[in-house]
């Protein structure tokens, strides 16, 4: 005897609950692709959080300007602001805004080139000005040993320091900091209590990244990751035979 039955209540309740779940998430600003994605989320083992705009507010502010002998701090800031004026990156705009707040209005550079994941290279009244991370300085073989103490201290404070070089010489450092969201610590703790491993992913240098991670209770950090390499890092985690979810607020995160 073959008996085939389909419980109507179950057949109706399952898609309805998925539809309601997707709708409620949308009300909270979380877009879920489809019901299958929602069901898969219940099996997650690892959640990767992008730092800027997810753990932090994504509104960095200029905090420090330091220079080496031969350069005035005000000059370093002004050149950095001019170099970054045409950049759309939040860190660059924080420098521009910070310079204006200090009475320094940046003009546009004579030439401008954004180096993704590294910084900017510009020409300003006959001077070559670079603003960016260590990789940008290494590319042009610029000796930044005079800046190491500054960089180490600022990074340890959870700030993001950027090198400023003028005509192949290290000139100084500008640093910005982003505020951690009020609910980040609780959200991360809640996920960890659910048995999820929470990982932070960021393009920041490792020292800065670990300082931020320590403030929110995250133990595993993937730092100095270029935008185009974020997907690779997620795939590497999946290769550990884990179900991985990625959370970010930018188009590059999607």
Burial class (CB within 10 angstroms; exposed 0-12, middle 13-18, buried 19+) of 175 = buried
Please determine whether the domains at 40-58+180-254 and 61-177 fall in the same fold group of CATH: no
Q: 40-58+180-254, what's its fold? A: Rossmann fold (3.40.50)
| Rounded Cα distance, 70 and 65, in Å | 15
pLDDT in tens, 195-231: 999 999 998 889 999 999 999 999 999 999 988 898 8
Q: Is the pLDDT of residue 8 over 90?
A: no
> Which two structure tokens, joined as six digits, stand for 63?
């905090």
Q: Is residue 180 within 8 Å of 152, Cβ to Cβ?
A: no
The pLDDT > 70 percentage for the chain reads 94
17-75, pLDDT tens digit by residue?
Answer: 888 888 888 898 888 877 788 888 889 999 999 998 899 998 999 999 999 999 999 99
Helix ranges (H only) for 48-147 are: 73-84, 90-101, 134-139
Residue 251 pLDDT greater than 60, yes or no: no
Q: Which residues pair with 64 in a beta bridge?
A: 175
Q: Which of 38, 33, 37, 42 is nearest to 21 (CA)?
A: 38
pLDDT at 114: 95
> Which superfamily does 61-177 belong to?
Calcium-transporting ATPase, cytoplasmic domain N (3.40.1110.10)
Picking from 102, 61, 106, 101, the residue whose alpha carbon sits closest to that of residue 85 is 106
Give the residue from 114, 133, 127, 220 showing the smallest Cα distance to 166: 127
Residue of 50, 64, 84, 253 marked catalytic: 50
What is this structure's pTM? Answer: 0.73
Q: What percent of the chain has pLDDT over 90?
A: 69
- Domain boundary assignment for the chain: 40-58+180-254, 61-177
CB–CB of 233/201 below 8 Å? yes
> Can you tell me which residue has the tokens 């006959």?
126
Sheet holding 46-50, edge to edge: 220-222, 197-201, 46-50, 244-247
* Residue 50 known to be catalytic: yes
3-state secondary structure of 108: coil
- The owner of tokens 């703790």 is 189
């Amino acid at each position: 005897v073959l008996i085939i039955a389909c419980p109507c209540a179950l057949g109706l309740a399952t898609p309805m609950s998925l539809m309601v779940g997707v709708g409620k998430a949308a009300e909270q600003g979380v877009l879920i692709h489809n019901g299958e994605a929602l069901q898969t989320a219940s099996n997650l083992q690892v959640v990767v959080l992008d730092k800027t705009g997810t753990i932090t507010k994504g509104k960095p502010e200029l905090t420090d300007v330091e220079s080496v002998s031969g350069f005035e701090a005000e000059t370093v800031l002004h050149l950095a602001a001019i170099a970054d004026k045409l950049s759309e990156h939040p860190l660059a705009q924080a420098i521009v805004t910070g310079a204006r707040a200090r009475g320094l209005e940046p003009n546009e550079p004579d030439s401008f080139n954004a180096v993704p994941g590294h910084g900017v290279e510009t020409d300003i009244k006959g001077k070559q000005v670079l603003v960016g991370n260590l990789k940008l300085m290494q590319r042009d073989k610029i000796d930044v040993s005079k800046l190491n103490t500054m960089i180490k201290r600022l990074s340890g404070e959870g700030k993001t320091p950027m090198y400023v070089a003028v005509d192949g010489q290290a000139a100084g450092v500008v640093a910005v900091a982003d505020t951690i969201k009020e609910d980040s610590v609780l959200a991360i703790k809640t996920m960890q209590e659910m048995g999820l491993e929470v990982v932070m992913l960021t393009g920041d240098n490792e020292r800065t990244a670990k300082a931020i991670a320590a403030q929110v209770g995250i133990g595993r950090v993937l730092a100095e990751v270029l935008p185009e390499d974020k997907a690779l890092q997620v795939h590497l985690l999946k290769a550990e035979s884990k179900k991985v979810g990625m959370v970010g607020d930018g188009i590059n995160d999607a």
